[in-house]
Amino acid sequence: MDTMITRMQSKDYTYVYKCSNGALRRSLFTGLYQGFGPTLFAGIPSSAAFFATYEASKAACERAQVAGYLQGVPRPILHTVSSAAAELVACALMNPAEVLKQNAQIARKPQTPSNGPPATIRILKQFYKQPSALWAGYWVLVAGQLPSICLTFCLYESIKESLNEKQEQLDSVSQQMQTTVLSAGLAGGCSSWFFVPIDVVKTRMRLAVGSDVQIPRPSIEKVRYVSSGATFSSRPGAFAVAQDVLLREGIAGFFRGSGLTCLTATVGSAMYIGCYEGTKLFLNGS
C-alpha cells in the first residue's frame, strides 16, 4: 500500500501508471515490496529511539508536575509535547531510509536480459557520491509529522478517555487493548487526511532528488546557476514543489492517494500504538 501511495503521488503517475482512458496500468501493482529493506533496517532503531525519547520526556513532565510545575497543563498536552520531541529524533534516523525506499519504489527494471541487482541496491549506489541527499525533505517530513503526531495523540487520548468513561470496568487486558487499538486507529486515520498535501510535497522532493542523482538534466527539479564559469545545481524547495503541483494538477494533486493514505494510517496507528501499549501491559503484569 505504501508503494502504491508513493507511485500515485509521483509526477510520473498520470503517464507511467495510468492509461489514457483512465484505467490503471499493471506496473502500478508490480514490485510492491521494492524498498522494504531500508524501511525494516531503519524502522527498528527509529521506533526504539521514538519510544525511549517519548518515555523520558513524559517522565520529565510528570516529575515537573510533582515538583509543582506545569500544574495547569492537561495530560494529553504533555503527551503531545513528549511525542513531538520523540518524533524529531525518530525522523532524523528514518529520513534516509524513506528517501531510499521511495526512490526504489518507482525504480524501473533495467532493460537487460539479466535482472541485475535489486532496486534498493541500485538506488543506494546512486546516492553513494551524495550521501547528504539522503536527508532531502527532512524538514518537510518534520513539518508533516509533528502536527500529525500532535493531532494523533490529542485525538488518541480524547477518544480513549471517552471510551473508558462509557466502559466502567476495564479489568481484562483484552478490553484495554480493544480500547487502545480502536482509539489509535481512529486517531491515526482522521489526522492523516489533513496532512496528505504535505505528504505529496515531501514525496515529490525525495523523488526529485533521486532523479537528480540518476539523470543530470535541466528541469523543475533542478535549478542551474552559472557563476564565474561554474555550473552547479540545487535541490527544489518545498514551495517550488508545491507550486509545481498546483500548476500541473490543481488542488486535487495535493490529495492524490488520500484514501490509501488514511487506510494505511488507520491500520498503522492501531498496530504501532497497540503493540507499544500491549507490551507495556505485558511487562507490567496486567
The torsion angles phi and psi of 188, rounded to 5 degrees, stand at -65, -45
Q: Which fold has domain 2-158+184-283?
A: Mitochondrial carrier fold (1.50.40)
As a whole number of angstroms, the distance between CA 143 and CA 104 comes to 24
Top-ranked range on mean pLDDT: pick from 12-16, 86-90, 223-227:
86-90
Centre a 10 Å sphere on the Cβ of residue 228 and count the other Cβ atoms it contains: 4
Q: What confidence tens digit (pLDDT) does each residue in 59-101 have?
A: 999 899 888 888 888 887 888 888 889 989 998 888 887 777 7
Write down the domain spans for the chain. Answer: 2-158+184-283
Helix (H, G, I), strand (E, B) or coil at 24: strand
Centre a 10 Å sphere on the Cβ of residue 24 and count the other Cβ atoms it contains: 13
Q: Which residue has the higher pLDDT, 46 or 167?
A: 46
C-alpha grid cell for residue 185? 486507529
As a whole number of angstroms, the distance between CA 160 and CA 284 comes to 20
Q: Poorest-confidence range of 26-30, 112-116, 270-274?
A: 112-116
Contact 173, 286 (CB under 8 A): yes
Q: Poorest-confidence range of 1-5, 64-68, 207-211?
A: 207-211
As a whole number of angstroms, the distance between CA 180 and CA 175 comes to 9
Helix (H, G, I), strand (E, B) or coil at 226: strand
Q: What confidence tens digit (pLDDT) does each residue in 146-203 have?
A: 888 888 888 888 898 888 887 766 567 788 888 999 999 999 999 988 888 888 888 7
As a whole number of angstroms, the distance between CA 265 and CA 187 comes to 9
Rg from Cα positions in the chain: 21
pTM for this entry: 0.62
C-alpha grid cell for residue 222? 533542478
As a whole number of angstroms, the distance between CA 61 and CA 55 comes to 10
Residues in the chain: 286
Q: Which are the contacts of 269, defined by CB distance < 8 A and separation ≥ 6?
A: 152, 156, 184, 185, 187, 188, 189
Alpha helices, DSSP H, located in the chain: 2-9, 36-66, 75-105, 119-126, 138-166, 173-194, 196-214, 238-249, 258-283
